[in-house]
Structure 1
Amino acid sequence: MVEIKSHDFDRFSKSSVESYRIFLVYGPDRGLVSERAAIIAARSGVAADDPFAMVKLDSSDLSGDPGRIADEVHAFGLFGGKKLIWVRAGGTEKPLVDALQALAGGTPSDNILLIEAGDVKKGSGVRKVAESANTVASIPCYADDTRAMNALIDDELKAEGLGITPDARERLLEALGGDRIASRGEIRKLALYRKGQGTIEEQHVIDIIGDASAVSTDDAVDAVLEGDVERLNLAFAKVVASKTPVFLILQSCLRQFQMLDIMRSEMDEKNTEPAQVMQTLGRHIHFRRKPIVERALRRWAPQAIARESARIQSTILQTRQRQGLEDSIAFHLLMSITLQSARQASAAARR
């Protein structure tokens, strides 16, 4: 198995990409997955604007033609030179798994296969194949820890010649996380606001990123996790009254359940307690919220977490398709999960 850890990715992308012909980039942080896949593609030596050398496929392409990946990988470029076959899929599709199985154990091609997958569980889909092959570079993408987030802040602010005070940094760290592209966008928005001003202070972060509605959003997510119906009603009403998009609650709730999924997987794989997982994967969580997240880890089973994550993603899509009913659709889902949390809490109390 060749797994590239998060702290090694920058070094790997600058010096070792050419050593591999097959790459698997996967994980719950879709922004980070996309970002790292794009970096590998850019450093592959294949021109992004050459339609004959850059071949992009998705799940629908595979379902209609199961052998498409292998055919593309073994095909010669129309004008010579290597090709990049960039596949965006969930990671469990049978044509994709079968193709990776065959290519990982076969004779290496000059062409490059780059798989951009979703949150593939250990022991399933393309991840199972990749982790048993030394010809595949596997790149997991989980939500940034504090060190990675600090590095992202420093890189973006340094590029604009800006400094940041310790209080402002702490406030910014609390507001970021869950999705690399979204976090980078927030930092750049803050940098643009302070461009040419030298230093970012705490009030600047509050003005641009951390307004009062964010507190209500966190309150709503915490109410969902705790099964507190009254608190959810109050927090939701605050968000609506502030004219803040209700989508932000769904987005925060989705990030929280994705993080719970990662933490539960860590607990199950290493047979650890929630408190131990919180010390590693939960370091970026505000200290006031840590007991709430720890209780949720004790109550929610992995299958239930995955189910609710899928429901939230589906609801986000529904709110975009039926914007006139956004508030109603979002509230119905959040109340449903809150009631489920309440039942989980009640069952845990009886045990």
Structure 2
Amino acid sequence: MKISDRQIEGFLKAPDPAIRAVLLFGPDTGKIKEFADRLGHTVLPGFDDPFRLADLTGAQLRDDPARLADEAAALSLTGGRRLIRVRDAGDGNTEIFQNMLETIQGDFLVVAEAGSLAAGSKLRKLFEGARNAAIIACYADEERDLRGLVRSHLQQANIRCSDDVIAFLADHLGADRMLTRMELDKLILYVGEGGTISLDEARQAIGDNAALRLDDIVFAMAEGDPESLDRALTRARAEGMNFQPVLRAAQQHLRVLHLAGNLVAGGQSIDAAFKAAGFRGALWKVSDRLGRQLRGWPANRLAEAMNRLVEAEMQCKTTGLPADAITGQTLLGIALSARNRSRAGSARP
């Protein structure tokens, strides 16, 4: 079953109890995580109950195909519905999900998180066609939706502002749902709950800095420029940037490159392809750079780099090592690979 845009909000608040599994996919990783958390909270108030929560990855399911069915069939020792989260799901997990949907009965909800999936994806088709499953596409917010998100977030903190402030914030904080909320939280801290913010104050508190810092990092990575990337990472550390969102921004950028590349191959212009792929920003400023990035990233290399970024994010969450060190090492490794590939290509006769 496909959940339409107008149905999403109601579904996230109260999913159909007949639905056993939900697939979230698309280029906006922040939105995917937010929707996954909201669906999870309809089952569990908190995600700290090991008897009712199983947190898996697509790679783990490929290594142990029976794991998903076992978790779905298990009974909670403390009673209550079980939540099973599967991160980084992909077409390689399709048969595993199909077996679970067709054979397992129990009181559970599976929430699967995937990146961008093509229209012909086996996993998409499975969840869309199954009576007991649902699929939600998570693309970058349109301007109207983004303004609604900004307004709602500020209203929750009783922040008063004009429509001009809302428009400014929507224009500058739209790359990723999670990053948008983080920057709005900084703004609320700057103003204070119950305060009023003017357009000048919004520019001082937000400006283009958040977007520019991330753009400097992800563009240097994608362009194979480790020297510029190292300088951008050093500035980010000095400014106290949270590095896990940097990894998500890098994942999103590569997913947008992947989707745009498919659209360009189908005959679309670069600008039209990137707009359709969910790129937010002034395309006229960076169109040439994005075109060069497309030419330097074959689809298989994009998949490898995205996997490295996903693994780095998991390391940040599980190893206890500094997130900035893991992030920096991963991004620099990707940038070096891109540069070496570019040099090897230019050296061919």
Q: Shorter-chain-normalised TM-score: which range?
A: 0.7 to 0.9
Paired residue for 1:86? 84
> Pick from 149, 153, 157: which aligns with 1:160?
157
8 Å contact from structure 1 (residues 53, 83) kept in 2: no
Question: Any conservation in 2 of the 1:54–1:85 contact (CA below 8 Å)?
Answer: yes
Cross-structure match for 1:42: 41
Q: Is the 8 A contact 2:98 2:126 kept in 1?
A: yes
Residues 148 and 262 (structure 1), Cα distance of their counterparts in 2 relative to 1, 3 Å cut: farther
Show CA shifts across 1:36-67 (max 9, x none). 122223335x6658959724242487578643
Give the 3 Å change call, closer, same or farther, for CA 171–137 of structure 1 in structure 2.
Answer: same
**Equivalent residue of 2:130, what SS?**
coil
- Is the 1:28–1:118 contact (alpha carbons within 8 Å) kept by the matching residues of 2? no
Counterpart residue number, 2:300: 303
1:261 corresponds in structure 2 to 258
Counterpart-to-counterpart distance in 2, 1:191 and 1:226: 35
1:286 aligns with 2:282: yes
For the 8 Å contact 1:163–1:199, the answer to whether it is kept is yes
Contact kept, 8 Å, 2:175 with 2:279, in 1: the verdict is: no
- For residue 115 of structure 1, the aligned residue among 103, 111, 118 is 111
Secondary structure of 2:23's match? strand
Partner in structure 1 of residue 101 of structure 2: 104
Cα deviation, residue 114, structure 1: 1.3
Check conservation: 1:299, 1:344, Cα contact below 8 A: no
Counterpart CA distance in 1 for 2:248 and 2:153 is 24
**Aligned residue in 1 for 2:69:** 70
Partner of 2:202: 204
Closer/same/farther in 2, CA of residues 293 and 124 from structure 1, 3 Å limit = same
State the shift of 1:101 in Å.
1.1
In structure 2, relative to structure 1, the CA distance for the partners of 1:140 and 1:282 (3 Å cut) is: closer
- CA drift of 1:289 comes to 2.6
Q: Secondary structure at the match of 1:17?
A: coil
Q: Deviations over 1:249-273 (max 9, x none)?
A: 76654432232223334556x6533
List aligned pairs for 1:147-226, cutoff 5 A. Answer: 147-165=144-162, 168-169=165-166, 171-194=168-191, 195-207=193-205, 209-210=206-207, 215=212, 217-225=214-222
Q: Which residue of 1 aligns with 2:21?
A: 22
**Alpha-carbon distance, 1:157 to partner:** 1.0
Distance 1:320 1:150, change over 3 A: farther
Task: Provide the rounded CA distance (Å) in 1 between the counterparts of 2:287 and 2:186.
Answer: 28
TM-score under structure 2 normalisation?
A: 0.73
Partners of 2:75 and 2:307 lie apart in 1 by 40
Distance 1:339-1:167 versus aligned 2 partners, 3 A rule: farther
Q: CA separation in 2, counterparts of 1:176 and 1:35?
A: 16
Structure 2 unaligned residues grouped into runs of 5+? none
SS in 2 for 1:262: helix
Aligned residues: percent identity? 22
Query: CA distance change for structure 1 residues 99 and 205 in 2, over 3 Å: closer, same or farther?
Result: same
Going from structure 1 to structure 2, the CA distance change for 1:265 and 1:137 (only over 3 Å counts) comes to farther
1:136 is aligned, of 133, 136, 139, to 133
Residue 134 of structure 1 aligns to a residue in which SS? coil
TM-aligned CA distance change 1:7 to 1:306, over 3 Å? farther
Higher mean alpha-carbon deviation, 314-323 vs 280-289, is at 314-323
Helix, strand or coil: the match of 1:90?
Answer: strand
**Is there any run of 5+ residues in structure 1 with no aligned partner, and where?**
none
SS at match of 1:272: coil
Q: Give the superposition deviation at 1:145.
A: 3.6
Aligned residues: CA RMSD: 4.4
Q: Which residue of 2 aligns with 1:13?
A: 12
Structure index of larger Rg: 1
Contact kept in structure 2, 1:34 and 1:116, CA below 8 Å: no
1:146 aligned onto 2:108: no
TM-score by length of 1: 0.72
Give the residue type in structure 2 aligned to 1:109: Q
CA deviation string 1:218-244 (max 9, x = no partner): 3454455556x5xx7467546636824
- Distance in 1 (alpha carbons) for counterparts of 2:295 and 2:63: 43
CA contact under 8 A between 1:213 and 1:244: conserved in structure 2?
A: no
1:9 CA displacement: 1.1
Q: Partner amino acid for 1:141? A: C
Which shows bigger deviation, 183-192 or 144-153?
Answer: 144-153
Q: Quote the Cα distance in structure 2 between the aligned partners of 1:267 and 1:196.
A: 47
Contact 1:25–1:139 (Cα < 8 Å) also in 2: yes
Change (3 A) 1:139 1:238: closer
